[in-house]
Structure 1
């Protein structure tokens, strides 16, 4: 019989009540909108309601939005819920469109239902949070925790606990074997004694959780602490500092009977990959339909103003470092795709008469929606660089190739934060990679939606777009 993994996601004791609240408010919002707009509830609207409840609950269960609130910040909880609601309604509307039922359903009712649902689902969570924060400020339902090791990871953990009181975790202090004069930092006043002292406290049941924040070099000390706590009921958690900032997402897995922690592995795996790919297909399909007149006008303008092909296919690295062909509207008189590629600069002489405008407004990137549809790109992800630039910068920028743990995107976190265009210094490329890796580590569908909105309002143009 296969041995299950030793690692599990914590459950929320109120999960059933939270599911019931979501379903109840979705149904309530639906009937309020029908009543307000005097629309009859019939078989078609019943199917619409059932479809939305199915999409919402399926997505909600798949990304565990009903897990314990003690595991994440409240904003993260709201972000997950909002993502599920947005994506579920997006799927619902797409299904209505594909089955040609759009004329039957009231658009005002659909929009009102979504808006009121968002208001109600956010509202009840805010109310619960206010109640929980009030109760926990008064000492109710608090879990006492202690931190072993006044290290950087330990102080970071303490800050998180203080900033997120809704987690219900009250830190009683730090415990470290080093002499106080060897410890620097503003938290020194919270040093309450040695590690042996907190181990004794744990055995007496005076703390609920113990966070071990010692350096990984202290493996024997950590092993000894865990051994001592073996006859207690305290929850023991390790927050390692080993390459912590460079882990892609630290996913727990197992090989046979052995547990593993991933270091460099894509966080977009399993159902997450399914959600992202589904979103990409739906979004790119609708985008291509919506912008098809623009695509035709640009293609005709390119053909009339300069000789050469309308579409330029450039080699780039895609998912897993495999070469792909990225589509762009041709904006230059040359189509460089060799071992050396010169980046576009301001007032570049190679630009066609309309090329500068296409690049400044990012209209030259629109054909990449076909790349998304074909599966070689995503709507959101690290921007793909020319192969020649990849080979150059992978030698100069640490962890550069980790950008290829996900599909490259039409837009990305680096681009909407201003790190786009010419990278004439190493610092600029390092900053772009920093933002790309932050996106990969913390990816969520909600973040994709936020980046798309930022792109619409500020990401198409910029001082570095040329």
Structure 2
């Protein structure tokens, strides 16, 4: 299950928090360590990496609108303790630097006082902002009419500073005046009223209804959470969140939805794409331009509109491998007459994809991710294949797990696309930097070994 962070500009708050923290630690250390022989570049890079790793594994930025203040204090203490130890550990290896306990203490105290003040001021400002303006809220519905569901509704209505607006109960088992509609009416209501979060009492739904609701939430970027009861739920991604003393079960966001992971992946994409552009494309492009021009008239590059992250249009770059034609939205087939002689070679070796590293550098693609489909394929299969839209939650990739497992090229049956989507979703739900490196290595191996569907 993939969750989406919607609800207005709340999605920017974590980015603001991260940016402020990095700015504080970056601007502070030159002031306090001046004259100690510290290499500012080395120490700046060291503390940035250290801060990012500690924050990622400690969940420092996992603060939500329903998080109590004590959670903020706990996370601040943990981050401060670990960051202090890592900073002190730097100096024994910096041979030209004079360690000053006083300067280090002043630096760390300044950093965490500034960060703590900013976090608490922002935290309380947002609560007061919601109360005074009614803005920055999330619309919620509850499936089921149980005592726990009623308690949750009361929490939403009494604790307005948390920014929830309760729109109604949906149940097939109750018919009183409190019920807004039946479970069968739920999905239309969610779409019509732009509901953000669905809270579900598992006693209300059978397995088929539950599966259908989870698929609906995936396809429409809705957050779904579960009110605990005795019924078993099969998901590896469950966690418990507490709204004060009220527990709800949430399906976790994947790693690629977390800002630290997004930053790590983006930095890797930038570094990798720059290396490829300088070391490979700098000499490959003139060579390919000559070969392509010698065989056929037309541009060296072929640019095609594709759906990117969140279905945002971008133009995917390739070396032109076909004669100029009017059927660019038609997939390439085996022995396709549109493909030129040089085109057959560069498609077989995937050289035609190399200009997409420009797309990566521009932030439109990633080195590894779900391959961007044609718009005709996107419009067709998004309506018929469950979880298809999940692949659009992340940047498309030059290569991907589906491609290295053999599901690339021409789509001849629905099963081809279903298997491709299955691997795309698995990649998104199980992403790691090591996973990306493994896919890149397998892609290179496949190029030299040859692939049957590379035509």
TM-score, length basis structure 1: 0.48
Greater relative CO, 1 or 2 (CA 8 Å, sep 6+) = 2
